């Protein structure tokens, strides 16, 4: 996994801009701590930071291809292509010669053979830029599910691009400007494909490519979810899901560096860990290494709520014993989670305020500790979106609402799934006039209707099945973006590559078209996934109810937050004060206010203050 960046300018000589490219590339050091390089020519400048996972001795980037001493193309690539062995054989048969054994050169040679259609042949998570020296054109490509990030900023004579916004914000022509629509996108609990809160900075949409020519920038979609009629019976469908998962996990175990799994003890991570353990054992390469996160004193402080009925640790340890994993539990404490330096590190990883409190900081600290032992980790993201694991898939009120189902189910007045029982809304401390201008419910409804218009349908579909197809599509294209972005930023800020087997496009396309009656055939959430992996799991885990990523329940945490919030309120130079309601702030700091009730709002206010200060954001509201 790596960080990429670059600049195309048709009206200037970029060989004179080495300092600017070096500064942009340096921002991606955390994504690629092992090596770095640049490629400069008159109208194109590519930068790269490398995290060596395959072929550590080879595969330096930017990678170039030449013929008779003439440059054909240069590539800056971030990702993993899991079918690179098959593609390499096909390219060799077509006459291509390779000098490395990793997947980077396969992507480069694949572009020379198939042009932009190379994207359709890749199975993996990737984001890359190819400069075609023959035509002086740039191609930006992002994987189908958007696991790997890629941002770009059109300029009058070309484009700037980078894995993360920080690479673009380093360029002297780009300012961190955020307007009302930017704040709406930041606060609305959705991720609209293609948009970022920063004015002028866009994302390459998942399953899309961007072509840059002298005539301008064009966008093309090469993949999307399609409506296909499902003709298999339940038993065959369960078997197909299992076969796909076995192949996916097996492919994603390839690495020339230490590899592990992230194990919570839930169904998703346990399935990945168990299948990985089987594959490694069959290859004589076991045992699987696994890591779980916990908080100091969590067992004493844990109290069940509507979304977290049981603690994770006992289940993770049960699964580890069941598959013979080499398992470790990483404990974090409240002092580290509220350390302003860690908040700043989390902010720099995201380039934006996260809005989910200690969940971001704990993930970053957890990944740093995992990185001491492993370079690659397998994770269970997107199984809930794919198989219908969230409560809003099963809540009639959420399904019937004219809004994103999670917005209704979480009420966005408690955000119980994100902040824990008793937390207040994230917007609780925001200025009331600002909230009126933002009209977040109206913004969400408009984006919701846009998303519904994209959903592919089959004719003559039962109305309930049609609605569940819509809900699945919304989760797979909007909600999952929040989790994938979070996982990428926190892991890559630690130099850790996280792979997500449930995002394999073959599995996603297949399950998307599986009828809801099969996905919930036994009346429970994720019935299809449970049935497909039940035989490799302990019964306690196969039947366990969905439990979100844990939050710290140490009562010291909200108290420490309130101290920080009081310091912010007392500092007239705090830029976040312009966005906060003074009366609500005073109420939150009152001695008789339970700090737990303003926990998430306090975290957001502190994040906003750090962001506005660190990034020198210009708010144009």
- pLDDT tens track for 71-86: 999 999 999 999 999 9
State the pLDDT at residue 556: 85
Burial state string for 79-116 with b = 16 or more CB within 10 A and e = fewer than 16: bbbbebeebbebbeeeebeeebbbbbbbbbbbbbbbeb
Q: What is the mean pLDDT of residues 545-553?
A: 80
Run of H or E including 141: strand 137-142
- pLDDT tens track for 56-109: 888 899 999 999 999 999 999 999 999 999 999 999 999 999 999 999 999 999
Residue in 450, 14, 490, 443 with CA at minimum distance from that of residue 186: 443
Q: Quick one: tokens of 22?
A: 């070096």
State the pLDDT at residue 598: 86
CA distance 294 to 332: 6
Run of H or E including 339: none
Residue in 39, 44, 1 with CA at minimum distance from that of residue 497: 1
Residue 305 confidence class, pLDDT cut points 50, 70, 90: low
State the pLDDT at residue 248: 98
CA distance 403 to 189: 12
Residue 375 clears pLDDT 60, i.e. is over it: yes
Residue 414 confidence class, pLDDT cut points 50, 70, 90: very low
Percentage above 90 pLDDT, the chain: 85
Run of H or E including 142: strand 137-142
Run of H or E including 37: strand 35-40
- pLDDT tens track for 453-471: 999 999 988 999 999 999 9
In order, the DSSP letters of 110-139 are HHHHHGGGHHHH--EEEEEEEEETTTTEEE
Higher pLDDT among residues 150 and 189, named by residue: 150
Q: What is the mean pLDDT of residues 336-364?
A: 91
Alpha-carbon distances of 121 from 108, 114, 184, 300, rounded to whole Å: 13, 9, 36, 51
In order, the DSSP letters of 267-318 are HHHHHHHHHHHHHHHHTT--PPEEEEEEETTHHHH----SS--S-SHHHHHH
Peptide bond into 287 cis (omega under 30): yes
Q: Quick one: tokens of 580?
A: 């906060």
In order, the DSSP letters of 68-112 are TTEEEEEEEEEEEETTHHHHHHHHHHTT---S--SSHHHHHHHHH
CA distance 549 to 21: 38
State the pLDDT at residue 554: 81
Which residues are catalytically annotated? 2
* Cβ neighbours, 10 Å, residue 235: 9
Q: Quick one: tokens of 561?
A: 């937050």
Percentage above 70 pLDDT, the chain: 96
Residue 390 confidence class, pLDDT cut points 50, 70, 90: very high
End-to-end CA distance of the chain: 37
Residue 311 clears pLDDT 90, i.e. is over it: no
> For the chain, what percentages of helix, strand and coil (3-state, to nearest 5) are there?
45, 20, 35
Rg (CA), the chain: 24
State the pLDDT at residue 552: 80
**Dihedral angle over CA of 248, 250, 253, 256, nearest 10:** -120
Task: Give the length of the chain.
Answer: 621
Residue 306 confidence class, pLDDT cut points 50, 70, 90: low
State the pLDDT at residue 420: 36
Chain Cα centroid distance, residue 297: 29
Ramachandran angles phi, psi of 9, nearest 5°: -145, 115
Residue 304 confidence class, pLDDT cut points 50, 70, 90: low
CA distance 453 to 390: 23
Q: Is there a contact between 37 and 4 (Cβ–Cβ < 8 Å)?
A: no
Chain Cα centroid distance, residue 345: 17
Q: Quick one: tokens of 476?
A: 């797979």
Q: Is there a contact between 80 and 497 (Cβ–Cβ < 8 Å)?
A: yes
Average pLDDT taken over every residue of the chain: 93
State the pLDDT at residue 301: 67
Residue 285 clears pLDDT 60, i.e. is over it: yes
Q: Is there a contact between 190 and 39 (Cβ–Cβ < 8 Å)?
A: no
Q: What is the DSSP letter of 553?
A: -
State the pLDDT at residue 418: 40
Q: Phi/psi zone of residue 200: left (φ > 0), alpha (ψ -120 to 50 degrees), beta? A: left
């Amino acid at each position: 996994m790596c960080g990429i960046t670059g600049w195309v300018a048709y009206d200037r000589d970029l060989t004179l801009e080495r300092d600017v490219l070096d500064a942009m590339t340096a921002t991606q050091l955390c994504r690629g701590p092992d090596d770095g390089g640049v490629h400069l020519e008159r109208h194109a400048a590519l930068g790269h930071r490398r995290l060596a996972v395959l072929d550590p001795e080879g595969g330096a980037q930017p990678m170039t291809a030449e013929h008779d001493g003439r440059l054909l193309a240069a590539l800056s690539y971030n990702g993993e292509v899991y079918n690179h062995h098959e593609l390499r054989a096909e390219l060799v048969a077509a006459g291509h010669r390779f000098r490395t054994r990793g997947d980077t050169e396969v992507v480069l040679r694949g572009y020379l053979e198939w042009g932009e259609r190379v994207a359709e042949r890749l199975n993996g998570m990737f984001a890359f830029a190819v400069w075609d020296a023959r035509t002086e054109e740039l191609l930006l490509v992002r994987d189908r599910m958007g696991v790997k990030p890629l941002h770009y900023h059109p300029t009058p004579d070309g484009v700037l691009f980078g894995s993360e916004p920080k690479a673009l914000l380093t360029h002297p022509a780009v300012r961190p400007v955020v307007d009302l629509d930017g704040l709406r996108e930041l606060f609305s609990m959705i991720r609209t494909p293609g948009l970022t809160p920063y004015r002028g900075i866009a994302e390459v949409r998942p399953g899309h490519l961007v072509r840059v020519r002298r005539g301008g920038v064009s966008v093309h979609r090469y993949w999307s979810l399609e409506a296909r009629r499902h003709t298999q019976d339940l038993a065959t469908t369960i078997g197909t899901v299992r076969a796909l998962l076995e192949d996916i996990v097996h492919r994603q175990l390839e690495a020339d560096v230490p590899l592990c799994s992230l194990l919570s003890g839930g169904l998703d991570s346990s399935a990945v860990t168990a299948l990985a353990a089987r594959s490694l054992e069959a290859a004589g390469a076991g045992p699987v290494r696994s890591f779980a996160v916990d908080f100091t004193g969590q067992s004493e402080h844990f109290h069940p709520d509507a979304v977290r009925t049981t603690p994770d640790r006992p289940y993770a340890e049960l699964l580890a014993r069941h598959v013979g994993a080499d398992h470790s539990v990483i404990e974090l404490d409240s002092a580290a989670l509220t350390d302003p330096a860690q908040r700043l590190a989390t902010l720099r990883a995201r380039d934006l305020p996260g809005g989910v409190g200690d969940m971001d900081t704990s993930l970053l600290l957890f990944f740093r500790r995992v990185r001491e032992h492993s370079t690659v980790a397998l994770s269970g993201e997107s199984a809930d979106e794919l198989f219908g694991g969230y409560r809003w898939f099963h809540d009639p009120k959420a399904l019937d609402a004219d809004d994103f189902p999670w917005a209704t189910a979480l009420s966005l007045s408690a955000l119980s799934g994100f902040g824990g029982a008793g937390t207040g809304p994230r917007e609780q401390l925001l200025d009331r006039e600002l909230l009126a201008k933002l009209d977040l419910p109206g913004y969400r409804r408009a984006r919701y209707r846009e998303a519904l218009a994209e959903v592919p349908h089959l004719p003559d579909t039962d109305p309930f099945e049609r609605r569940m197809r819509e809900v699945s599509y919304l989760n797979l294209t909007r909600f999952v973006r929040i989790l994938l972005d979070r996982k990428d930023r926190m892991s890559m800020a630690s130099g850790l590559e996280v792979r997500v087997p449930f995002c394999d496009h073959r599995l996603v396309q297949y399950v998307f078209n599986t009828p809801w009656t099969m996905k919930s055939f036994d009346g429970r959430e994720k019935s299809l996934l449970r049935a497909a992996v039940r035989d490799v799991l302990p019964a306690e885990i196969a039947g366990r109810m969905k439990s979100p990523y844990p939050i710290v329940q140490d009562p010291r945490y909200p108290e420490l937050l309130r101290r920080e919030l009081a310091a912010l309120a007392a500092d007239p130079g705090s830029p976040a004060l312009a966005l906060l309601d003074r009366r609500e702030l005073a109420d939150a700091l009152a001695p008789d206010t339970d700090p737990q009730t303003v926990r998430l709002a306090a975290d957001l206010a502190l994040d906003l203050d750090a962001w506005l200060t660190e990034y020198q954001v210009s708010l144009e509201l």
